[in-house]
Amino acid sequence: MNDLVIVEIKAVERFHPVHIAQLITYLKLANKPRGLLINFSVTSLRLAGIRSAVHPDLYKKSKET
């Protein structure tokens, strides 16, 4: 159960689509199912500081079976 999540840490004003794309690329390269993008440059992590992503190819396979 180890190594199932990739965590990408940022300190940016706000998330941009390139940040999500970068995390998805990491998921594909490492063949991991889930990832978290955490931004520490916000006042509330719960509201604007955390995004999650799912490996697109692994999600398609699990939906088809």
The model's pLDDT over 12-51, given as tens digits with 9 standing for 90+, comes to: 988 899 999 999 999 999 999 999 999 998 888 878 889 9
Helices (H), the chain: 17-30, 56-64
Instruction: Kindly report the pTM of this predicted structure.
Output: 0.77
Please list the residues that pair with 58 across neighbouring strands: none
